[in-house]
Structure 1
Amino acid sequence: MAFNRKTLTGSALLILAILFVAVVLISNLLFRGARMDLTQSNLYTLSEGTRNQLSKLEEPIQLTLYFSDKSTAEAASNDARALRGYYPRVRELLEEIAARSGGKIHLKVIDPLPFSEDEDNAVAAGIQGLPFGPAGENVFLGLVGSNSTSGEAKIPLFDPGRENLAEYDIAKLIHDLSVSKKPAVAFISSLPMTMGFDQATRQMRQPWAVYTELSQLFDLRQMNAAALKTIDKDINVVVLVHPKDLSDDALYAIDQFVLRGGHLLVFVDPNAELDESGADPENPQAAMLADKSSDLAKLFKAWGVDYARDKVVLDNAHALQIRVAQAAPPVRHLGILGFARKDLSSDDVITANLATINMSTVGYFELSKDSTAKLVPLIQSSDQSMAVSADRVKFLPDPAGLLAGFQPTGQPFVLAGRLEGEFKTAFPERSGADHLAQAKGRNAIVLFADTDMLSDRLWVEVQDFFGQRVMNAYANNGDLVINAVDNLAGDSDLISIRGRATSQRPFTRVEALKRQADTAFRKKEQDLQKELSETERKLTELQSAKSQDQAMVLSPEQKAELDNFLKRKVAIRKELRDVRRQLDADIEALGTRLKFLNILLVPLLLVIAALGFAGWSAKRRQAR
């Protein structure tokens, strides 16, 4: 019996082993390439736009990822460790893209060691080196892509601070490799943005910096609004700046361009400060009194957008200081606004990672009550803002006058946004073979309620350096426009890709404890400063009551007051140290609880569960 039992037990184990191997082999065959994303924010799940773009690839694409694995492993700097920590996220994202490409994308990873041929190739390809190595040598984390012809594209550096846009950057690189020429961009403007003759100075004027940069990056085609009747079908994007008194034919051309899937970037303004309408050297008041607003009223109505061409947004929180006279001190202007990184949408590729945007006499957009579109804000005013008549800003002698009667609405205004929807025509009465009454699918229009932001004075200094125009940008207005055109120049799948969650998981509880401690710390500091000011006031009063020959001698009252303050100062500083110590103690206690849960409690519960299961199994065997 014992022999038979051992034989059966051994046979059963052998059969189970064979079944296990068979199941593994069959699973590998049936579920090859199958993946499951169990992360909270679906970090490894590609967006629909990326998947659609990969499905449309016709030619193979080679991607080469350069990462200094050995150098960053030996480096001790925080920057090198951050780059090394970000590398797995980049590689896993590229591997997922390659796996979803149906064999069209081939990924190669290279570790460019210092002074090697691989390092030379990385530098020649335009990959940015950072001096974070153990001996100060350059380290790399960048991507080079090439197609079957001679096309090349690159991401010089994967910045950990741009992790939420990593998928978009890679998808953009793949899109650029799948097209063979620069995107065609139609440029329509009623402002003097191009090179031409300036009637005021009687000299040739230089083009605006933003126009120069666009012409270098895109196939920019300037179009005359007065003669506009059709928009060529090879145009990817139309940039419309300060549209004034457009004919119905011009509006219809733009209308049909949008409905057939064209992408539109619009800049309107309630008060375009560089509008030369009514300019007359012999009559300066003519230009001052001329209407400097612009609108697309007929198209906006069809798209479900409300825009007041006679209203300007004042914002107390974002007001910039300007100098109205040479000898006068700078004053805050509620109509000239500056926005920092935290004020811009971090979820949209157009505004994400920009540091500073300046705007002047801005309007705002709203959705109409019956609108079916969606308005996604890119730039918003603060809740300390209100809308006033544009005439109040136009004829303003002193910016300080805007504070009179200023009453914030408590609600932000959308100064720039992305309008998304399935748009209908603004010309239902027209017909024809190519006429569209409604868009064939969803589209996106990017709207800005300001044109002054395009002018050089709000973002860049242009200087002549031995015949060359050198641009020194102090704001990101130019980057913003290029980002918008670059994004719209892609196909609809690329435009649909938004910023996504990052792999960083901050300790929210620890951050909350730090914020509480900082609040308490600042309160104690304010108490100390308040007592110091009060003590100085009392000492001054006592000093003024003394005679001149006793001015340098402390009176008993002054000495007592000073001693009391010094004692209180020591006590408050002790309380400040206690606040910091309590913070450390709270964080340490939180860490201890987490260690107890992870190291002791969970294994203990598993052991108890295992022992319980073993006891239950033993009782079942005894019952038999």
Structure 2
Amino acid sequence: MSATRTTLTTGSLLVLAVLFVALIILSNMFLRGARLDLTENHLYTLSEGTRNILGDIDEPINLYFFYSERASRDIPVLRTYATRVRELLDEFVQVSKGQLNLHVIDPLPFSEDEDRAAQFGLQSIPVGANNETVYFGLAGTNSTDGLSVVPFFQPDKEAFLEYDLTKLIYNLANPEKPVLALISSLPMTGGFDPMTRQPGQPWVIYEQLQQLFDVRVLGGDIDQIDDDVRVLMVVHPKNLSDKTRYAIDQYVLGGGHAMFFVDPQAELETPLNPNDPSAMFAEKSSDLPELFKAWGIEYNKDQIIGDSGYALSVSVSADKPPVRHLGILSIEKSGLDTSDVITADLSTINVAMSGFFKLAQDSKLSLTPLIHSSTFAGPIDASKARFLPDPSELAKGFQETGEPYTIAARLSGEVSSAFPDGKPQDDSAEGAQDTASEASDSDHLATSKGPINIILVADTDILTDRLWVRSQNFFGQRLVSAWANNGDFIANSVDNLLGNSDLISMRSRAT
């Protein structure tokens, strides 16, 4: 009896062991990617925006996941995150209904796979005493040989993982990027730094726009905005010719989508002569008076908003405590429109020396605030901010009005042209003779074809790196880390003007 019981017990244990191993194998085969999501924002659950984008893929997309599994054997953080990435990729494949093909590759040293990873533009990092290289990135290709990559997956960016993957797939599924035309007097593209006499670094927001759109920089006199421009972005308009302002006017009246950034005090406006000591006192404002008047908008380029409610503390010098700066504001959730898809899921937006908008009393348009000050705010003469060694000076004579001020807003409704007499004449002799290039009266739009839909922002510093990102060099690659939602606000606004709500929901959810 004892021997039989022992035999049965041993046999039962063997059966259980076999079943357990089989269960593990089957789980790995069929349940890869399945997980219980207990995170606050359900970061481990595919969002509706991702599912919509994956469901709209028309042609197959190949994903090449390069992960140096052997070389990273002693890096537990990387191995754990690699599992997370692989599981999410598997889930993407399942939801795509056969349109995504995933290839998992361990690029061994001196192999064709390693050469291919380098050709795709993936980033490798040396690890260990033997300087083994680790690849941990993704390359995607479509049927037209389009390429989009994540050079290296950073574990500290896990919150953005789903968005980064979804954006990569969206770009491959929609290879023809919409055209964004940019008119800017600020060095967003990097330009030339007169102080260092070296090419400047492009602003992060400009680089991000390039990833999402076909950015077309416009300069000089502009006769018209091309028909293929989906969104027009005008930043710090200074000294625009009548011809250019007319082109903007007609683009908006024709139903074109646009964002306008004006500023009473643009901190990064480059002086014409940086060696001139008086340059620091120069006026750095911008305005579109004719257009704003036609649109029923009141904006004073000589006033900035001071706000003791959202004021940031800044360091003046190492031997002094931080000082609250009434002109540099960190606008929290209470200052954002939570009912608008652009700002609903954002937390913090930083602005500096911002102006404000009001709707004219006789205006029939709708001005819907997206970003506004607190009620502890009031206007300050912009001249006080032109050279400000001590931010506490702004508090002298400052008076709160008890009302919020609109810093960014949607403007919608039907409008008339700011040029009722039609296209301005070219003053040059050559232009006067060349009447063939002039638009005929029949081409002139006196009123909008329908309700306009544009976004106004009374600050240009919202676009600058210093107010929302930190940059670091990672083995020759520039890596940025956002600490505010400025970039999300800009990208969300453009996406919304284009009608792409899925990427908006993804971006805001990640942030």
Q: TM-score range by the shorter chain?
A: 0.5 to 0.7
Q: Does the CA-based 8 Å contact 2:342-2:504 persist in structure 1?
A: no
Q: Does the CA-based 8 Å contact 1:313-1:385 persist in structure 2?
A: yes
Distance 1:203 1:76, change over 3 A: closer
Q: Distance in 1 between matches of 2:370 and 2:190?
A: 30
Given residue 344 of structure 2, which amino acid in structure 1 is its aligned partner? A
Aligned position for 1:566: none
SS at match of 1:215: helix
The reply on whether 1:415 has 2:404 as its aligned counterpart is no
Higher relative contact order (CA 8 A, sep 6+): 2
SS at match of 1:232: coil
| Residue ranges of structure 2 left out of the alignment (5+ in a row) | 1-28, 67-79, 101-141, 149-158, 160-165, 423-439, 506-511
Aligned position for 1:188: 183
1:187-226 per-residue CA deviation (whole Å, 9 max, x = no partner) reads 11111222332212222212111112212221111110x3
Given residue 458 of structure 2, which amino acid in structure 1 is its aligned partner? A
Given residue 192 of structure 1, which amino acid in structure 2 is its aligned partner? P
The reply on whether 1:284 has 2:277 as its aligned counterpart is yes
Aligned position for 2:341: 349
Match of 1:328 among 315, 320, 344: 320
Q: Distance in 2 between matches of 1:423 and 1:258?
A: 9
Q: Distance in 1 between matches of 2:41 and 2:240?
A: 56
Distance 1:80 1:141, change over 3 A: farther
Q: Does the CA-based 8 Å contact 2:495-2:501 persist in structure 1?
A: no
Distance 1:298 1:387, change over 3 A: same
1:302-321 per-residue CA deviation (whole Å, 9 max, x = no partner) reads 11111111110011110001
Q: Which has the higher helix share?
A: 1
Q: Distance in 2 between matches of 1:136 and 1:456?
A: 29
Q: Distance in 2 between matches of 1:314 and 1:200?
A: 31
User: Deviation of residue 233 (structure 1)?
Assistant: 0.8
Q: Distance in 1 between matches of 2:470 and 2:221?
A: 34
Given residue 299 of structure 2, which amino acid in structure 1 is its aligned partner? Y
TM-score normalised according to structure 2 size: 0.65
Match of 2:212 among 217, 226, 249: 217
User: Deviation of residue 436 (structure 1)?
Assistant: 1.0
Q: Does the CA-based 8 Å contact 2:282-2:386 persist in structure 1?
A: no
1:250-286 per-residue CA deviation (whole Å, 9 max, x = no partner) reads 00000111111111111100001111234341x211x
Q: Distance in 2 between matches of 1:370 and 1:223?
A: 34
User: Deviation of residue 442 (structure 1)?
Assistant: 1.9
Match of 1:203 among 186, 198, 206: 198
Aligned position for 2:8: none
Q: Does the CA-based 8 Å contact 2:407-2:458 persist in structure 1?
A: yes
Aligned position for 2:352: 360
User: Deviation of residue 388 (structure 1)?
Assistant: 1.1
Match of 2:268 among 271, 274, 286: 274
Q: Does the CA-based 8 Å contact 1:318-1:382 persist in structure 2?
A: yes
Match of 2:462 among 453, 463, 467: 453
Q: Distance in 2 between matches of 1:174 and 1:204?
A: 33
Given residue 248 of structure 1, which amino acid in structure 2 is its aligned partner? D
Q: Distance in 1 between matches of 2:85 and 2:203?
A: 41
Aligned position for 2:293: 301
User: Deviation of residue 498 (structure 1)?
Assistant: 11
Q: CA RMSD in A?
A: 4.5
Aligned position for 1:547: none
Counterparts of 1:511-530 in structure 2, within 5 Å, are: none
SS at match of 2:441: coil
Aligned position for 2:471: 462
Counterparts of 1:147-546 in structure 2, within 5 Å, are: 181-224=176-219, 226-281=220-275, 283-285=276-278, 287-430=279-422, 432-488=441-497, 490=498
User: Deviation of residue 122 (structure 1)?
Assistant: 12
Distance 1:337 1:81, change over 3 A: closer
Distance 1:260 1:326, change over 3 A: same
Q: Does the CA-based 8 Å contact 2:349-2:485 persist in structure 1?
A: yes
User: Deviation of residue 403 (structure 1)?
Assistant: 2.4
Q: Distance in 1 between matches of 2:391 and 2:248?
A: 38
User: Deviation of residue 470 (structure 1)?
Assistant: 2.3
1:514-560 per-residue CA deviation (whole Å, 9 max, x = no partner) reads xxxxxxxxxxxxxxxxxxxxxxxxxxxxxxxxxxxxxxxxxxxxxxx
User: Deviation of residue 497 (structure 1)?
Assistant: 13
Q: Distance in 2 between matches of 1:71 and 1:465?
A: 32
Q: Distance in 2 between matches of 1:463 and 1:495?
A: 31
SS at match of 1:239: strand
TM-score normalised according to structure 1 size: 0.54
SS at match of 2:397: coil
User: Deviation of residue 177 (structure 1)?
Assistant: 9.2
After alignment, is 210-219 or 289-298 more displaced?
210-219
Q: How many residues align?
A: 390
Distance 1:313 1:178, change over 3 A: same
Q: Distance in 2 between matches of 1:408 and 1:141?
A: 53
User: Deviation of residue 484 (structure 1)?
Assistant: 1.8
After alignment, is 271-280 or 185-194 more displaced?
271-280
SS at match of 1:433: helix
Given residue 266 of structure 2, which amino acid in structure 1 is its aligned partner? A
| Residue ranges of structure 1 left out of the alignment (5+ in a row) | 1-67, 99-103, 107-119, 125-130, 154-160, 162-169, 500-624
Q: Does the CA-based 8 Å contact 2:495-2:503 persist in structure 1?
A: no
Q: Distance in 2 between matches of 1:206 and 1:243?
A: 21
Q: Distance in 2 between matches of 1:237 and 1:181?
A: 15
Given residue 475 of structure 1, which amino acid in structure 2 is its aligned partner? A
Q: Which has the higher strand share?
A: 2
User: Deviation of residue 329 (structure 1)?
Assistant: 1.2
Counterparts of 1:50-89 in structure 2, within 5 Å, are: 78-79=38-39
User: Deviation of residue 174 (structure 1)?
Assistant: 12
